[in-house]
Chains A and B, each alone.
Chain A
Amino acid sequence: MQKLINHTGVIDNNWALIETVEGELPSGQILVPASYWLENLEALKGRSDVGIWFAADAQIAPFLALISDVAVIAINFPAFANGRGYSLARLVKERSGFKGELRAFGDVLLDQLFFMRRCGFDTYLLKEGLSGEKAVEYFATFADPYQLAYDKPEPLFRRKGA
């Protein structure tokens, strides 16, 4: 059973990921593929029980003006070494007005959690077998990093001066 965590501990996963939509949408809180969501924009925009998941290679630009009121957006990491999702996360969080929950899923391991948090992720569906309790320790690897990112809107050289 994969653990879903936020920055403080293990939480319940109430959103089902629909890999491909066939026929009718299932009921309950669901994450649909980004391309499906865009194709069915009129029916789905504003629905609080439908979130979106993006593949790592998704083109994010067409979505940025449309997703401000989506409840959950998930970004896939097909392999932890594929870091495209970090840029996608920052664009979603910093350039779309999105205020919901940003979730990482796929090859989500401990040693990348610190970077993911900095780029704006809120929740993480850990790879099968990883301990959620242990994982939360990995958000605090570095106390005061140099760069600005989603979590710290100013770089260290401005924070220090403050």
Chain B
Amino acid sequence: MYKYDDYDQRIVDERVAQFKDQTDRYLAGELTEEQFLPLRLQNGLYVQRYAPMLRVAVPYGLMSSQQVRKLAHIARTYDKGYAHISTRTNVQFNWPELADVPAILAELASVQMHAIQTSGNCIRNTTTDQFAGVVPNELVDPRPYCEIIRQWSTFHPEFAFLPRKFKIAVNSHETDDRVATLLHDIGIKIVRNSADEIGFQVYVGGGLGRTPIVASLVKEFLAEKDLLTYLDAVLRVYNLNGRRDNKYKARIKILVKALGVEAFAKLVDEEWQHLKDGPGTLTDQELERIKGHFTAPDYKVLSASSELKTQTQENKAFSNWYNRNVSEHKVAGYAIVTLTLKKLGTAPGDITDQQLDTVADLADKYSLGEVRGSHEQNLVLADVEESQLFALWQEAKAAGFATPNLGLLTDMICCPGGDFCALANAKSLPVAEALQEKFDNLDYLHDLGEIDLNISGCMNACGHHHIGHIGILGVDKKGAEFYQVSLGGKSGVGANVGKILGPSFARDQMPMIIEKILSIFVDLRIDGERFIDTYDRVGQAPFKERVYAKAN
């Protein structure tokens, strides 16, 4: 993983000093609430329903065990003993004191972490595939490009006060897309051209929120060295032309729609001609330097574990977990393990300080000391020897990370909602919990197969409800909490925004409504179909008719 040099460390240390000064001036009354707001936001600090919330950046989801232990320490010392893994693979603390935040930042800086630009109208944490570098059929490791983008976007002087927030994702997998690339302000797909050169397809103008839109292709092939000059051009066109009069129309997706993709692409290209081949062009030396931080570890030469076969045959629970939560690694004899944070009774993505310490220990013991966060709010150990899986499973199970539901209905994405968030229209966690309780039968869940169920507590769509196969959105109806259901959303290849099923439901109806939707699916599915396959084949009509037939 990327290790800071003296320059990187100095920037983060200077940030700690800067934010301490800003906090001191705010507490002394020298900065008004309004003036402090965007400063604290650009440092990931929200003022929430009960306390500030601090969002710590985890660049492209990658953490060392040392960093995870630091997060555990922060949760224990400055918070109520837990943290939350967000859908942008950041880590959030829900209960720090404002006056403690400079100290927390200093602790983070000591392990090469920060909270820079995790909120506010600036360029946010760049995300990528949580299986980057270890998954089969990947073109190249996308993380060096994420790190290059991280450095370029950190305190970019021209783009610190954009019309609205700006999110970038990078995908390098040939067939899968685990990072919802096309639902980002910029989605970068790494490709190889006919001349066998690595480069990028650039998609612009995707996003969730009030106006969910799938991004459009604006650059068919961008050479590797041109990455940053082209990003500068896109951002400059946005900064100059994006709307600032209405925050709901301020994202770049609205600009791309208003101008039309071709006109937008032309503006970017005209701007880019001024920057292309200038000093912002990446050098071979810099590309090699950054890539050198992401070289493959010295993998052992291993043969398929015969023990593993016996263990899966003899132990049904282990076998369930192995089939669900273990993914194929590109090196024979190794496996990728997802530790699920979706246990009944726990808010999706929540993790205690003790669990964080356990994850760090497991990473050291089984996976070369590294941990990754995923967009589905789980954690990943990316380099586990197959022969160690059984032992890892036993430890993970004891710590509550081995619910074998990866990709199944109860592996849902859920925002913190009205229990914590000041923006929410409705609570989301109680809905998630009611669904986890209702659908706790593993055989039934496995029979249903892969279903993405995503819940957001408001239109801001932090729970990605638009791109869940089943999406649930909390809405406020004259002061009461209601929930709107949409079906058919997809986040990966062929990304699609779900379609609203009809009038919303009261919270206590939700488990029954979801059960009804699932039973319609079971009735209509043809062997081997996933929920989304059946939905794509039959459309929304049969679901709509039957869900509302009795409800009315």
Can you identify 6 A-B contacts, CB atoms within 8 angstroms?
A84-B244, A86-B160, A111-B35, A143-B10, A145-B157, A154-B279
Partner of A144, one of B10, B239, B282: B10
Partner of B285, one of A90, A146, A147, A161: A161
| Interface-central residue, B15, B157, B285, by most chain A CB under 10 Å | B157
Interface size class of A (residues with CB under 8 A): 35 or more
Q: Are B161 and A142 in contact (CB under 8 A)?
A: no
In the complex, per-residue mask of A95-137: 1 if CB is within 8 Å of any chain B CB, else 0: 1000000000000010110111011000000000000000000
| Interface-central residue, B35, B161, B236, by most chain A CB under 10 Å | B161
Q: Report the bound CA distance from A142 to B285 in whole Å.
A: 24
Q: Are B279 and A149 in contact (CB under 8 A)?
A: no
Q: Are B161 and A145 in contact (CB under 8 A)?
A: no
Q: Are A84 and B239 in contact (CB under 8 A)?
A: yes
Instruction: List the one stretch of B148-156, B213-221, B332-340, B467-475 in contact with chain A.
Output: B148-156
The 7 closest A-B CB pairs, nearest first, are A83-B161, A118-B157, A157-B286, A115-B157, A86-B158, A146-B151, A154-B279
Closest to A95 in B: B274
B121 at the interface (CB under 8 A from A): yes
SS of B interface (majority): helix
Partner of B157, one of A81, A86, A157, A158: A86
Q: Are A145 and B11 in contact (CB under 8 A)?
A: yes
Q: Are A149 and B157 in contact (CB under 8 A)?
A: yes
Q: Are A146 and B155 in contact (CB under 8 A)?
A: yes
Q: Please give, as numbers and ranges, the residues of chain B lying within 8 Å of A48 by CB-CB distance.
A: none
Closest to A77 in B: B161
Q: Please give, as numbers and ranges, the residues of chain A lying within 8 Å of B280 by CB-CB distance.
A: 147-148, 155
Q: Report the bound CA distance from A82 to B163 in whole Å.
A: 7
Minimum Cβ distance to chain B for residue A36 (Å): 22
Minimum Cβ distance to chain B for residue A154 (Å): 5
Q: Are A83 and B159 in contact (CB under 8 A)?
A: yes
Q: Please give, as numbers and ranges, the residues of chain A lying within 8 Å of B156 by CB-CB distance.
A: 146-147
- Given known contacts A84-B239, A158-B279, A161-B283, A149 and B158 CB-to-CB distance under 8 angstroms: yes
Closest to A131 in B: B30
Q: Are A83 and B162 in contact (CB under 8 A)?
A: yes
B14 at the interface (CB under 8 A from A): yes
- B residues 272-319 with Cβ under 8 Å of A? 274, 279-280, 282-283, 285-286, 289
Q: Are B279 and A146 in contact (CB under 8 A)?
A: no
- Given known contacts A142-B155, A146-B155, A153-B279, A83 and B14 CB-to-CB distance under 8 angstroms: no
A18 at the interface (CB under 8 A from B): no
Q: Report the bound CA distance from A74 to B11 in whole Å.
A: 30
Q: Please give, as numbers and ranges, the residues of chain B lying within 8 Å of A148 by CB-CB distance.
A: 279-280
